[in-house]
A and B are shown apart, each in its own frame.
Chain A
Amino acid sequence: MDMINRGGVSRNEAVSQLYAQTEKIVFATLSRMGLGRMDIEETTNDALIICIDNICSGKYRQDASLGTYIVGIAKKCALNVLRKNKRKSQLDTPGEEEEMALSPEDLLLTRERNQDLRAALDELGSPCNELLLLWANDYSYREILDIMDYANENSAKVQKFKCLKRLISIINSQQGLLDVE
């Protein structure tokens, strides 16, 4: 948890560990729900992304262990996939779908949206996309200066906003999907 909140390299390590620790149980759960291998891999990804986001934004209240929490999110993601694949018949109980559906906020983080963002980042190119991803992953400006070539923290910050502005322009020109929360 601390490592995730700390951001930067610590978060990357924590994410890798979390993935290694929960992969098997999530895989088994999603298999029982009738998901195929590809769907399982993508759903596991989605679940971990949402989990990290919830920890960073303080939504995770530690009512359950992190493993149980991830499995719960994975189930919700799986229900979305099953709904999309029109495989409702495989749901255990009819009421479960409504109870476990993902919030619109969580849906914002699904891979379809990420794909759009990824395409925009590709168009943005280097070093802007690298800078933005480091910032988004909560690398400190000191860490960013170690990795990238900027004169000082302030100039890195200003550069980041210039990059962000270009990214918004690309997204708007592509799809006009950007919404302010």
Chain B
Amino acid sequence: MTAHDMRPTRPFYLNLIQIRLPIGGFVSILHRASGAALSLVVPALLYVLMLSLRSEADFAQIRNLAGGVLGALVGLGLVWALIHHFLAGLRHLGFDIGWGESKLRARMTAWIVLFAALLLTAVAAVGWLA
């Protein structure tokens, strides 16, 4: 018998379209999706950091890009991803120390994470576009 045959028969591959998720699951999927997106843009963000610190002209160019429609959309999308991932992560750290594990509390904090991330992104948007 190979190691592969001895794998447990639990579902390994979850079809996201077929599952109807409770709010905690929805926040969890967004946690993963936002984390994946942020992971993939790290090199691009480092490039932006490099330009912003390199010279006055490069800094101005970044600022212009950030002020455009596309730049603002991408930037604020990433701000939302960061805030959502951050807050959902704090919620998980709470679970790790045994806080908020009851069903009611877990549902409540999931809603709070979802809306607080959107709210804080809106606040950031005001600052971004000002």
- Asked whether A and B interact, the reply is no
